[in-house]
Amino acid sequence: MKRFLFPAFIFFFAACGNPEGPSPGSGGGQMPPALVTLATVETRELVEWEEFTGRVEPTEMVELKPRVSGYITAVRFEAGEFVEEGEILFTIDQRAFETRLRAATAEVARARAIATAAKSEFARVQELLSARALAPEQAEMRESIHLQAEAALEAALAAEHSAAIEMEHTEVRAPISGRISRAITTPGNFVSAGMTLLTTIVTTDPVYVYTDIDENSLLRLQALQRDGGLYVDEQGRVPVEVQLSNESRFDHRGFIESFDNRLDAGTGSMVLRCEFPNRDGRLMPGLFARVRLPMTTRYPALLIDERSVLTDQANKFVLGVDEQNLSVYKPVVLGPSIEGKRIVRKGLSAGERIIINGMARLPQPGMPVEPVEADSGDSPEKVANAAASGTEKEAAGL
């Protein structure tokens, strides 16, 4: 039995000691280069903008109140419509004011008749004095009566004018053109002169946007203005852009209209007023808005894809590729984002190649890569799928 088992053990150990396949030193166990997508660092002339919060307000707003007291008899507008300056909006009961006007007109007629008679009497004074038919004291009396009649006529005319103004104010007209609110006081209600709120009117084109800018931003703008590097439009005005809460872009463009005259010591900010055209009425007074201001002069900036930015603890970095197609660690100092790109302040040069896809397959810098340019027709998804497929095959031993 031992003679038969011994050759079998020898054959088994010989088979185990001579495995098929390449030896460990032949290089067959090394990882293949990782597929990555490359892009070059872009250079573009641009202006950096900063965002602030603001509110849309009308350039003019009127709280409409009556100038005479009385009962409202008619409302002549629809809530929310656009009204023109001078348009009649409310009517106050005119009967009492019409009576006062008629009485004042009659008083003017009486005073004019008295003044006319006194003037005629005074006109004959010189003739009567020459004929010695009138004493000097009587002449002075006629002159006094004439002057008193003229004064009474002026007082009557003033009273008539006041009555006419009150009669005119029974028709409450729009003092400005704009969009009107609802009728707060309706027909049948008594209103007091200068007290009762009837409605409000706001202008819609143009509109103001108020925003608070912090002290550092204000000092930066002042420094740019002193150095002549402040970004302005064709009319020499500082442009401003606005985005509403339901919008994804800053489509509304205006300009800085004025600054406040002092900095608020409590908040450390200053109120800035911007003016925007609003022909379509989208900038409704009271809306919240994001305000974007130019905070630099126009300069050539370095831009990279947002996908290339990685974080190493508190530091930002990107992975570049050298001439041997090895990944290179490159720490960077970044600026704000612009149109899906990121401004690079420091750490890169124009034209350098950086990895924008496939970084997750590189455990550390210095690894070999198989680069694919971003504009070569291979999308990042295609490269990622190809790399994932290669990794699965390697794990399966194929």
pLDDT band at 129 (very low <50, low <70, confident <90, very high): low
Strand pairing report for 61-64 and 82-83 = unpaired
Q: How far is CA 319 from the centre of its chain?
A: 38
Q: Please say whether the beta carbons of 339 and 20 come within 8 A.
A: no
Residues of the chain with CATH 2.40.50.100: 66-93+170-197
pTM for the predicted model, two decimal places: 0.68
> What is the pLDDT, as a whole number, of residue 7?
46
Residues of the chain with CATH 2.40.30.170: 49-59+205-297
Chosen CATH of 66-93+170-197 out of 3.40.50.720, 2.40.40.20, 2.40.50.100, 1.25.40.20: 2.40.50.100
CATH architecture of 31-44+300-396: Beta Barrel (2.40)
> What is the pLDDT, as a whole number, of residue 375?
56
Q: Is the pLDDT of residue 213 over 70?
A: yes
Q: Please say whether the beta carbons of 304 and 345 come within 8 A.
A: no
Residues of the chain with CATH 2.40.420.20: 31-44+300-396
Q: Which residue has the higher pLDDT, 390 or 302?
A: 302
Chosen CATH of 49-59+205-297 out of 3.60.70.12, 2.40.30.170, 3.90.1150.10, 3.30.365.10: 2.40.30.170
**3-state SS assignment for residue 164:** helix
Maximum CA extent, the chain: 186
Q: Please say whether the beta carbons of 305 and 337 come within 8 A.
A: no
Inter-CA distances, 232 with 210, 248, 270, 296, Å:
19, 24, 21, 11
Q: Please say whether the beta carbons of 334 and 347 come within 8 A.
A: no
pLDDT band at 390 (very low <50, low <70, confident <90, very high): very low
Residues of the chain with CATH 1.10.287: 94-168
Fold of 94-168: Helix Hairpins (1.10.287)
